[in-house]
Chains A and B, each alone.
Chain A
Amino acid sequence: MADQEITLMKGNEAIAHAAIRCGCDGYFGYPITPQSEVLETLAEQKPWETTGMVVLQAESEVSSINMVYGGASTGKKVMTSSSSPGVSLMQEGISYMAGAELPALIVNVMRGGPGLGTIQPSQSDYFQACKGGGHGDYHLIVLAPASVQEMADFVDLAFTLAFRYRNPAMILADGAIGQMMEKVVLPPFKPRRTEEEIIKECPWATTGRIGGRKPNIITSLELRSEEMEIINLRIQAKYREIEEKEVRYEEFMLDDAEYAIVAFGSAARIAKKSIEIARAQGIKVGLLRPITLWPFPTKEVQALASRVKGILSLEINAGQMVEDIRLAVEGAVPVRHFGRLGGIIPDPDEVVDVLKRSF
């Protein structure tokens, strides 16, 4: 396959191809609908025969995430993918990685919950992804793709950010983005880093005591509270820097907008269609689409509140991101939420009706 070939594939397949192409060293996962094509595509592509990337189906999600912990400890570019119930099982390992400051990629192709729930699309893991998820004071860097192209593009971006800040990153997609096929230009091939490059890029990693350097210890455990507070403060300072530098978002038809929809992922795609329909009826509405859910585009949403008369948070859940919008807006304008639950996706007409009723 040529580097720049335009092709048609599912979002899940795009994740797998992008992982191979960005020089990923290892994938550890366990199948679950609606993301199983990630593992399936990797198995089909057999990257262990070409780039040397390891692909391993573990015996469970708990095992997968701990394999990711191990791989990441050595400075390797490693990842896993799952869907909501599977990602819940991984939370202990994710918290440990955040504590040990390990770079890695976790892909969550969300389905409806709670519990085993349904296999249909949902965005109901926003809280889990953005507010920690596991125990302790931590954040993941969370990217929300809204197209198959972004599924492909965000793999490399997520790894770049994860390594830049030594922090786990998550691609938070949903069953719709995972299952739909769209045109995609796959990223060019990057070779996997050599051992020397890894040692240079990750001086903290457990790469072996070459040249008699001091031992590197990867752990999230520190029993002395004073030391643990210092570690926490350092991690928090890192989060403030990420909030400062890494906010990403897209604006759509906001220039003359009187109302704004804030939506991410597939909900943002639905919002765009709703905006086309609403504008044809004379309602001036635009979209702000957070691309990073954490760090959340707080300043941008706050600025939006001074330009519009009302904000609708469109989410495929019972109202999660709406809390971050309200915190940003601080009551300046009415903020409403609309969402469908349990795997039902709102349709564009329904959103237009809600817009009309809300403000």
Chain B
Amino acid sequence: MTEEIIIAGFGGQGVLSMGKILAYAGLMEGKEVTWMPAYGPEQRGGTANVTVIVSDDPVSSPILSSYDTAIVLNQPSLEKFEPKVKPGGTLIYDGYGIPEPPTRKDIDVYRIDAMDAAAEMNLIKTFNMIVLGGLLKIHPVVGIESVLAALRKTLPERHHHLIPKNEEAIRKGMEIIKKL
């Protein structure tokens, strides 16, 4: 099994950290993982994306031409990465940042209104965990227990009291993702 994922959105949405949690969870399950950010003069409001590969085998290229799954969280990212989903692959998008939805018919398209849900729950900072929950519902690349363990491992101790909130967010994401 190899899952090649691109996560793309605005800087500040937690795109890179969501990818990191996913990669870390894969590592904890003994899988091969690569996390490759499009680093640069990134800033809040600029574009940010990260390629995460989780595999049973050694990962060849961290840089890819196409992806099994694209998670896009704003319009420019949708325009950039919708054409790069492999036929039969998956595209997940957040309705809030994307007024013009995806149009491809040869891929599975899912919508997750994570921004709205985060606002409703008054947990705006867990937006990325809601999205991650959505991904895990449709592609259980890693188990939720591994994600929670990854959070314990990567979050500084002083933030550990927020882990239940993150779990709540992940479960919310699993609930609200819907196939189009």
CB atoms of A8 and B27 under 8 A apart: yes
Interface residues of B in 32-85 (CB under 8 A from A): 32-37, 39-41, 59-66
Chain B: which residue is nearest A272 at the CB level? B60
Q: Is B172 an interface residue (CB 8 A)?
A: no
Chain A residue total in the interface (Cβ 8 A):
28
Known contacts A6-B27, A8-B27, A34-B39: A349-B66 contact under CB 8 Å: yes
CB atoms of B63 and A270 under 8 A apart: yes
Q: For residue A119, which residues in chain B have a CB less than 8 angstroms away from its CB?
A: 39-41
Q: Is A91 an interface residue (CB 8 A)?
A: no
Q: For residue A176, which residues in chain B have a CB less than 8 angstroms away from its CB?
A: 36, 62-63
Q: Is B20 an interface residue (CB 8 A)?
A: yes
CB atoms of A348 and B65 under 8 A apart: yes
Q: Is A276 an interface residue (CB 8 A)?
A: yes
Q: Give which listed residue, A175, A180, A182, A276, contacts B60 with CB less than 8 A.
A: A276
Chain B: which residue is nearest A6 at the CB level? B27
Q: For residue A271, which residues in chain B have a CB less than 8 angstroms away from its CB?
A: 61
Q: For residue B33, which residues in chain A have a CB less than 8 angstroms away from its CB?
A: 8, 181-183
Report the minimum CB–CB distance from A339 to chain B (whole Å): 14
Known contacts A8-B23, A8-B27: A179-B39 contact under CB 8 Å: yes
CB atoms of B34 and A182 under 8 A apart: yes
CB atoms of A347 and B63 under 8 A apart: yes
Q: Is B24 an interface residue (CB 8 A)?
A: yes
Q: For residue B61, which residues in chain A have a CB less than 8 angstroms away from its CB?
A: 269-274, 348
CB atoms of B62 and A183 under 8 A apart: no
Report the minimum CB–CB distance from B64 to chain A (whole Å): 7
Report the minimum CB–CB distance from B29 to chain A (whole Å): 11
CB-defined interface of B115-143 with A at 8 Å, one 1/0 digit per residue? 00000000000000000000000000000
Q: For residue B41, which residues in chain A have a CB less than 8 angstroms away from its CB?
A: 119
Chain B: which residue is nearest A180 at the CB level? B36
Q: How many A-B residue pairs have CB under 8 A?
A: 69
Q: Is A244 an interface residue (CB 8 A)?
A: no
Chain A: which residue is nearest B65 at the CB level? A349
CB atoms of B40 and A120 under 8 A apart: yes
CB atoms of A269 and B39 under 8 A apart: no
Cα of A274 to Cα of B63 in the assembled complex, Å = 11
CB atoms of A348 and B36 under 8 A apart: no
CB atoms of A182 and B64 under 8 A apart: no
Q: Give which listed residue, B32, B36, B60, contacts A183 with CB less than 8 A.
A: B32
Cα of A174 to Cα of B73 in the assembled complex, Å = 29
Known contacts A8-B27, A349-B66: A181-B60 contact under CB 8 Å: no
CB atoms of A266 and B62 under 8 A apart: yes
Q: Is A222 an interface residue (CB 8 A)?
A: no
Interface residues of A in 163-184 (CB under 8 A from B): 175-176, 179-183
Q: Is A62 an interface residue (CB 8 A)?
A: no
Cα of A347 to Cα of B51 in the assembled complex, Å = 13
Report the minimum CB–CB distance from A197 to chain B (whole Å): 37
Cα of A34 to Cα of B27 in the assembled complex, Å = 24
Q: For residue B36, which residues in chain A have a CB less than 8 angstroms away from its CB?
A: 176, 179-181
Q: Is A350 an interface residue (CB 8 A)?
A: yes
CB atoms of A348 and B39 under 8 A apart: no
Q: Is A345 an interface residue (CB 8 A)?
A: yes
Chain B: which residue is nearest A182 at the CB level? B34
Chain A: which residue is nearest B53 at the CB level? A182
Q: For residue B39, which residues in chain A have a CB less than 8 angstroms away from its CB?
A: 33-34, 119-120, 175, 179
Binding site for B on A (CB under 8 A): 6-8, 33-34, 119-120, 175-176, 179-183, 266, 269-274, 276, 345-350
Binding site for A on B (CB under 8 A): 20, 23-24, 27, 32-37, 39-41, 59-66
Known: A8-B20, A119-B40. 14 other contacts (CB 8 A): A6-B27, A120-B39, A176-B36, A179-B36, A181-B23, A181-B33, A181-B35, A182-B59, A183-B33, A266-B63, A269-B60, A269-B62, A269-B63, A272-B60
* Interface CB pairs A-B, < 8 A, 22: A6-B27, A8-B20, A8-B23, A8-B33, A33-B39, A119-B40, A175-B39, A176-B62, A179-B36, A179-B39, A180-B37, A181-B20, A181-B23, A182-B34, A182-B35, A269-B61, A271-B61, A273-B61, A273-B64, A346-B63, A347-B64, A349-B66
